[in-house]
Structure formats: structure tokens, C-alpha cells
Amino acid sequence: MGHPVAVTDQDFETQVLKATMPVLVDFWAEWCAPCKMIAPMVEDLAIEYDGKVNFVKLDVAANPETSVKFGIRSIPTLLLFKNGKPVDQVVGAVPKAVLKKRLENALK
């Protein structure tokens, strides 16, 4: 893959909850400036972790059901799923090194 794939309320279960690999979900919206700030970092990490972690993006404005289900109150929120369950969460625009460390910890 190598790049975050857009998911929707309809395919979230298949793409994320039933995935065999860990999945990082980027909850974002078009109007969110911090979301746009972290997008290049998420892209870089998607390439770096290709084959180890799947990366997906969920537009909260277009897909409110999933956002509500996982209690997303502010964006950007990055949720890391493992075996269909959220195992880590990062809220807000954080440095790439922070995201990388959280990914490494989750992969152990």
C-alpha cells in the first residue's frame, strides 16, 4: 500500500476491525488545519511501515457514525487498532518522532 487509504462508515469494519495487521486510523476533516499539518507525517510513516501497519483516513464530517462510536471529540485523532481493538490514541498535531515511538511500542 504505502499510502493512507480513505475509509468510510460502511467499510470501516472490513478495513480496520477485521484487518490482520495493525491499522492506524487518521480521523480528520477537510477544514481542519492541524489535520493538514500532520498529513505529510502520516504519509511518510505509511511508506516507512508498509507491510507492518496499514494506514487509513476517515473524514469525520462525511462519516459521523464511526467517529461517534469511538468517541472522537477533537481532530486530528490517530487511533491505532490491533486485533480489531483500539490500543493507542494520539490527539492533536504531534511531532513525527512521537508518532513513530507510539507505533513502535504498539508493534512490540
Give pTM, 2 decimals.
0.95
**Model confidence pLDDT, tens digit, residues 35-70:** 999 999 999 999 999 999 999 999 999 999 999 999
Is residue 57 within 8 A of residue 28, CB to CB? The reply is yes
Confidence of residue 11 (pLDDT cuts 50, 70, 90): very high
Full domain range(s) for residue 57:
5-107
Is residue 57 within 8 A of residue 30, CB to CB? The reply is no
Structural domains of the chain, count: 1
Q: Return the C-alpha cell found at 6.
A: 480513505
Does the pLDDT at position 2 exceed 80? Answer: no
Mean pLDDT confidence for 75-80: 96
- Bridge partners of 90, per DSSP, are 78
Does the pLDDT at position 1 exceed 60? Answer: no
**Model confidence pLDDT, tens digit, residues 85-107:** 999 999 998 999 999 999 998 88
Q: Known catalytic residues?
A: 32, 35
Phi/psi for 69 (5° steps) reads -55, -35
For residue 91, the domain's CATH number is 3.40.30.10
